[in-house]
Amino acid sequence: MSTELEAELLNAVEHRRNFAIISHPDAGKTTLTEKLLLYGGAIHEAGAVKARRAQRKATSDWMEMEQQRGISITSTVLQFAYEDCQINLLDTPGHQDFSEDTYRTLAAADNAVMLIDAAKGLEPQTRKLFEVCKMRSLPIFTFVNKLDRPAREPLELLDEIEQELGLQTYGVNWPIGMGDRFKGVFDRREQQIHLFERTAHGSR
């Protein structure tokens, strides 16, 4: 391999990020994927997991059976640019029946986002996928979803993660209120408040 080609390849690798989203079924993985694509500028409107006729279907659920059943059956790679990086977002099936596909996909990931339902906390499939990521020494970011619905206390969720998974946790974004009193999040690093607004489905 020529020095010039090698330098070009190293530069491409340096500016590429592959991350997978792991979770138990129905934690909101495909919906989070759609929002990341929306805010990353890859799509102009986020799709719905189970779309009505007038709504867009989820970008990552491209198979007819996925659209009909509202579940992810195959892993999907979705790409978008963010700042000076090329992001490869790996949307994996959450259901145990399709876990082999998920395990293979995690081999291509640099890191993982562990998605947790705020009402349910750690669930069986999330624990299994966490162990796979741990075996591969993947850095893990935890995202707690559905804070605008009835949910467990944030400290209780952090305590569960620390005790059951042996992780040291640090809440980067802290919720302001929970359930129907959810007002937004406080970014502890930037010392900023981001208010929550309900918008028309699929919009920012």
Structural domain spans, the chain: 16-151
Q: End-to-end CA distance of the chain, in Å?
A: 45
In the predicted structure, residue 156 carries a pLDDT above the cut 90: yes
In the predicted structure, residue 30 carries a pLDDT above the cut 70: yes
Return the number of other C-beta atoms located less than 10 Å from residue 180's C-beta: 8
Task: For residue 113, list its beta bridge partners.
Answer: 21, 141
Give 13's pLDDT tier (boundaries 50, 70, 90).
Answer: confident
As a whole number, mean pLDDT of residues 10-23 equals 87
In this structure, what token pair is assigned to residue 54?
């007038």
Return the number of other C-beta atoms located less than 10 Å from residue 177's C-beta: 13
As a whole number, mean pLDDT of residues 52-77 equals 54
**What is this structure's pTM?**
0.76
In the predicted structure, residue 76 carries a pLDDT above the cut 90: no
As a CATH number, domain 16-151 is: 3.40.50.300
Give 10 or 98, the one with higher predicted confidence. Answer: 10
The pLDDT of residue 138 = 93
Percent with pLDDT over 90 in the chain: 39
Tell me how far apart the alpha carbons of residues 76 and 42 are, in angstroms, rounded to a whole number: 15
Q: Interior CA angle at 36 toward 92 and 66, to 5°?
A: 40
